[in-house]
Each structure stands twice: as C-alpha cells, then as structure tokens.
A = this chain, B = another copy of it.
Amino acid sequence: MNGAQALIRTLVDGGVDVCFANPGTSEMHFVAALDAVPEMRGVLALFEGVVTGAADGYARMAGRPAATLLHLGPGLGNGLANLHNARRAATPMVNVVGDHATYHKRYDAPLESDIDAVAGSVSGWVRRSTSTADVGADAAAAIAAARRPPGQVATLILPADVSWSPGGEPGRPVAPEPPAPVADEVVRAVAEALRSGEPSVLLVGGAATREQALLAAGRIAEGTGARLLCETFPARLERGAGLPPVERLGYLAEQATAQLDGARHLVLAGARSPVSFFAYPDRPSDLVPEGCQVHVLAAAGDDVVAALEQLADLVAGDARPERQPVRRPDLPTGDLTVQSLADAVGALLPEGAIVADEANTSGLLLPVSTAGAPRHDWLTLTGGAIGQGMPLAAGAAIACPDRPVVCLEADGSAMYTPSALWTQAREGLDVTTVVLSNRAYAILRLELQRVGAEAGGPRAADLLDLSRPDLDFVALASGMGVPASRVTTAEQFAKEFERALAEPGPHLIEAVVPPLV
C-alpha cells in the first residue's frame, strides 16, 4: 500500500474514522485512498475554517479525534482560527496538512511556505513525515499525541511523495495516556481550605464540565457552601434539568469581578485562574480578588474527575448536589428582542439538544433562559476566534446524528465561515441555525465604549455597522441549499424554530433583533 493508504488505515484502526477535508493537488493520493479504506468517512468542506471547526465540534461530542485534511500552508492558514479555538478547548484532533514532495520543496514553488512555523502556533505536537515506511507509525503517534490529556491538536505534515510512494504499512495503535492522578496531599490541602468556613469559589473547567465531575462539584458546593462556577468558555458544558446548576464566569471583567467578590479561596478544578478576556485601560488583567488564595486542585491533563470525587468524599459526606429542576420560560409574544428570543429558545429547546453558541452580545441572556430546559450540551467559543459556530454545529451533528443540534450564531460571526451551511446540506445534518441578525458588530460597539476610546465619530461607527447593505441570510442559506426563513416576532420565531427542529436536515432562521447597544 502507498503512504496515503497506510495513513488512513492507521487512522481508522486508531478510532479516527471521520476526516473533514478541503484537499488540493498535494493531497490527491489521500483522496484516492478513501476508496481503498472505506471505513473512513470523508466530509467535504468548501473552506478550511469549516474543516477545522467541524473537527473541533466532532471531537467535543464524540470524545475522540477526527482527522482534517488541509492543503499546504494557505490551507492551514485558512483553518488557523478554528484550530486556535480547538487548542483553547483542548480538543483532540489529528490535523493532516499536505505539503509538496520532499524533493520539490527546495524549488520554492508558488505554494511553498513555512508550514511548520504556522502549525506550531496551534499544535501541541507537530511532525513532518519523511518516509513512506514511517507514515503509519507517524499517524499512530499523532493519534496518541492528540489524545494526550487534556487533548490537543496534533499536526502531521504529509509530503506528497511520502503519500504516493509504495511501501507504507499501518502503524500500531499507541495506547492513550490516562490523565495524571492528583496527589492526595493536594486534595487534602484543598479540603482544608474549603473547611475554613471562609467564602470560597469552586471554579470548574476543562474535563470537569461534564456530568460526573459536576455531580461531585455539586456535592462539594452543597457540603461546604462554596460557590460553584464554571469557566467563561467551556468546551462542552453538560447542563439543564437534573444536573447541578452551574453559572459561568462572566465574559466582561466587571461581571466576573462581581461573581468572585469577597472570595478568600478560589479552587481551580480543570479551570485556569481567571483573567480578563482583553485588557482595558486602568483595569486589572488578573481577576482574582485581593486577599483570595488560589488552589489548583487539578490542572489541564490531571484527573480532575477523580480529584473532585475524592474531595467531595472528604468535605461533603452524604451531601447531595443541588439539581436543576425543569423550569422553562413561558413562550414569549411580541417583537423579537434579545430577551424574548432567549426565552423562546429556553421554552422550546429539545431534550438532548447540542447547542453551538456563538451568539455573542445577542446571547447574553440565553444561559439564564435555558438553565431549566431539559438536559443538553452547551458548546462555546473557547478561543474567542469568531467564525466557529456553524462549523462546530456541523461537526457535532456528525458525531451525534440522533441528537438535535441548535446553532445560535451572531450575524457578524456567521460571515467568517458561511459555507458550513453547504456542508450541513450536503451531509443532511439535523442542525437548526438561528442567526441573530442585529446588523452590527454589536460587541465592538460595546467594546468601543469599554476601552475608553473617544468613540463618538461617525467614521468609527461606520466600521462597526453591518447594515449597508443588510445581509440577507435567507438568501445566503438558500444559495447553499439550506431552507431558511426570516422572523421579526417572538411568535414567528417559535413557529419556525419548532418546525426546523421537527423536520430533518438543516434549517436556518434569520432572527432580526435590535442590537443590545
């Protein structure tokens, strides 16, 4: 078999059987090899940001990596923003970047560029395959690297001749490393802090935002009075009725400061110590309150679930975690607003939904409105690189074909990777995309005020305005084969949202809402 066949065979043997792809000439043997290894599902995207965002969404829900297939340095560049988000999500991913043949590189052909440097900026592991005989072993190492706790982007650079030459052989699967155990004394020290009776916050993140860890965290909160919070942008938060309610740390530093105010102990369980998303003149970057001691129960890569359970046994005895009751908002009526839209989503979100949330300012009220909806997963913009929502939804839908996927997408953000809709149509994915169309970079209007810029000018305002011309998302979606509607009232939204959820395949609803600012 040739190198490409050995690579794909190794991936499949290692549990990586979906490849999101936007190939070019240097990847043609990989493409051809899909017929030789039919267990691999190739999913075509029209832009690399869709490839990498979908691979991220897939792995967040499947719990194992997908592969990507990107075309040299420019293809990697186009995929870089969502690789950045995947890096911040600690998503396992086998990122395959095709390159020129080994002997061709020195000619500096037009597509030649420094792939290694760019890949290094988003990858925890980078390797360049240099011989066909090794490509199987390289692929097995890539899978193991991708799965190394807490998960990371592993980039395998694949020269065309390594791919096309004969002499490949599948690599032997490498057993994944388990997460690192947390030392007993660490757990005991945290227990002691929580028993102090001083105001405490337990901040969960990373692998601790799923049911088992949240139940343990809920016991700890119940048993000690510690406040349970979740990192601002969890990769995958399990929430809704039956699970412990957990509030996310606010995106705006002011919100986070208020949430942490008065805490004397901050326990980090898979989460990092909170910092401001951006710097602002005369405001602190570090959000830990003065006089608050930070305790790291478990860092990324540590076995945070076991550590939380051990801690709960120490401090919470038989305490039972609070569980969120079913509590949905009433179906709203009247004009569509940020509030009524959030309430309608909360009223109608189906059991088992996966929510890809890139609603930005228009979504600020969603967490509250959906807190008591039936159990669901919430996927967020982990790295702040917009253009993630619709690709993420596509990947999640491929991972979980039997679950409804709801993508809540800001209009500005939607325009970075719109062709995700085409992939959704092509694959018949059950995704309901709600575009929150406020016709502005509303978050930047807000930020323009917050950074203290003397921002009254019309030229600055014009650069944050998306209304000249208005984007018509119904036309855009239709152009990519996704049925779409536009709504301006809460009643219309509810009707279209229910219909979209009931019908198979992708749908888009352009929800026209006034901007928050």
Contacts and interface: CB of A to CB of B under 8 A. Distances in A.
Interface of A: 21, 23-26, 28-29, 31-32, 34-36, 38, 42, 44, 46-47, 49, 73-75, 77-81, 83-85, 88, 100-101, 103-104, 107-111, 113-114, 117-118, 120-122, 160-161, 164, 233, 272, 275-279, 281, 285-286, 382-385, 387, 412, 415-416, 418-419, 422, 425-426, 443-444, 447-448, 450-460, 462-466, 468-476, 478-481
Given A34-B463, A44-B465, 20 more contacts: A28-B447, A29-B451, A31-B460, A35-B456, A35-B460, A36-B457, A46-B412, A46-B415, A47-B415, A103-B279, A104-B278, A104-B279, A107-B276, A109-B277, A109-B278, A117-B118, A117-B121, A474-B479, A475-B478, A476-B479
Contacts of A474: 479
Contacts of A468: 426
A463 B35 CA distance: 11
Given A44-B463, A46-B415, A118-B117, A77 B74 contact: no
A35 B74 contact: no
Contacts of A481: 469-472
A356 B348 CA distance: 48
Contact of A472 (B281, B454, B472, B478): B478
Number of copies: 2
B80 A74 contact: yes
Contacts of A426: 468-469
B457 A32 contact: yes
Contacts of A425: 469
A46 B422 contact: no
A31 B453 contact: yes
A110 B107 CA distance: 38
A450 B28 CA distance: 10
A28 B455 contact: yes
Contacts of A113: 84, 121-122
Contact of A25 (B21, B28, B285, B447): B447
Contact of A278 (B100, B277, B382, B460): B100
B278 A25 contact: yes
Nearest to A281: B164
A465 B23 CA distance: 12
A456 B36 CA distance: 11
B31 A448 contact: yes
Contacts of A109: 275-278, 285
Contacts of A107: 275-276, 285-286
B110 A451 contact: no
17 contacts: A28-B447, A28-B448, A32-B448, A34-B459, A36-B457, A44-B465, A74-B81, A74-B385, A77-B79, A78-B387, A80-B80, A100-B279, A109-B275, A110-B382, A111-B384, A426-B469, A473-B479
A21 B464 CA distance: 10
Contacts of A32: 448, 453-455, 457, 460
Contact of A47 (B160, B277, B416, B479): B416
A99 to B, nearest CB: 10
Contacts of A80: 73-74, 77-78, 80, 118
B277 A383 contact: no
Contacts of A114: 120-121
Nearest to A41: B459
Nearest to A83: B77
Contacts of A46: 412, 415-416, 466
Identify the interface centre among A77, A277, A422, A462: most chain B CB within 10 Å of its CB: A77
A325 to B, nearest CB: 32
